[in-house]
Amino acid sequence: MLPYHNPIWLAKSIATLDQLSDGRAILGVGVGWNRQEAAFLGFEDFDDRGAYADESLEIIKVLWTERFPAFAGRWHAFEPVDWRPKPRQKPHPPIWVGGESMPALRRLARFGSGWLLSHMPLDWLRRHLAILDDLLAQRGRPRGAVTDVGCFYNVKLLRNGRSSGRLRDNRKTMAGNWMEGPTEAFVEDLTRFQEAGLNYPILRIYAENGDDPREQVAMFDEEVKARLAPRPRATIPNA
């Protein structure tokens, strides 16, 4: 949550992590929703948290990409500085923007190379990826600038320790709803999401006991994932 962090400290932390991990760091960002939590952490401009997030991302990209970065904004300002280490990835690590609102989409089109969603319906995903393409074009960025689209994918493969034989799809728009059924149903469902543009499903298991998660992950890996063809949305550098 960007309003909970000093962007200079955050940029330094991610750049250091990127060096230590041999270029595998990803920065995921959001603006937060809990006014009380933000106040506890010292952020008082809650209604302007989106503007703060945008300024923070401006600062982070300047620090990551310019030899002697400088910045002057509403919340932060600094003179030219010899700022190191730079990230290993060039021009910088991927920035994943979280959220489903129009401000989040505009932030993604401006700064992001990845989009992280809660569980959203298939038709919603199709409509909003088209909106994203328009916003990218307005920014002078190609469609492929957003290379990854991730979404929580909530599954239940076992009922009372046995494979679920009947499809039960209770999903709405929130991440707390689940799809239950045989593995074939998940192959078909994920194929539809992949064709719409999702290429980074984030598996969440509905478990009935402590052994359930391990067994369901193994089932998903062997009977669902193995039958899905990789479908990259795009293959261009982080712009």
Q: Mean pLDDT for the chain?
A: 90
* Contact partners, residue 102, CB within 8 Å, separation at least 6: none
**71 in a domain, yes or no?**
yes
21 residue type, one letter = S
pLDDT band of residue 167 (cuts 50, 70, 90) is: confident
Q: Residues 147-165: what's their mean pLDDT?
A: 87
**38 in a domain, yes or no?**
yes
Q: What is the pLDDT of residue 57?
A: 98
Q: What is the pLDDT of residue 236?
A: 43
Yes or no: say if 88 and 23 are a contact pair by the CB < 8 Å rule: yes
Helix (H) or strand (E) holding 150: strand 148-156
User: What are the φ and ψ backbone dihedral angles of 196, each rounded to 5 degrees?
Assistant: -75, -20
What domain count does the chain have?
A: 1
**33 in a domain, yes or no?**
yes
Check pLDDT > 90 for residue 114. yes
Specify burial of residue 138 (Cβ count, 10 A radius: 0-12, 13-18, 19+).
exposed
Q: Residues 195-203: what's their mean pLDDT?
A: 91
Percent of the chain residues topping a pLDDT of 90: 72
**172 in a domain, yes or no?**
no
Torsion of CA 45, 49, 50, 54, to 10 degrees: 90
**107 in a domain, yes or no?**
no
What ranges make up the beta strands (E) of 15-73? 27-29, 71-72
**15 in a domain, yes or no?**
yes
Q: What is the pLDDT of residue 166?
A: 81
Biggest alpha carbon distance in the chain?
64
Domain span at residue 69?
Answer: 1-92
Alpha carbons 111 and 78: distance in angstroms, whole number: 21
**211 in a domain, yes or no?**
no
pLDDT band of residue 190 (cuts 50, 70, 90) is: very high
Check pLDDT > 60 for residue 24. yes
**52 in a domain, yes or no?**
yes
Greater confidence, 205 or 175?
205
Alpha carbons 66 and 234: distance in angstroms, whole number: 26
Alpha carbons 139 and 183: distance in angstroms, whole number: 41
pLDDT per residue over 44-102, tens digit each? 999 999 999 999 999 999 999 999 999 999 999 999 999 999 999 999 999 999 999 99
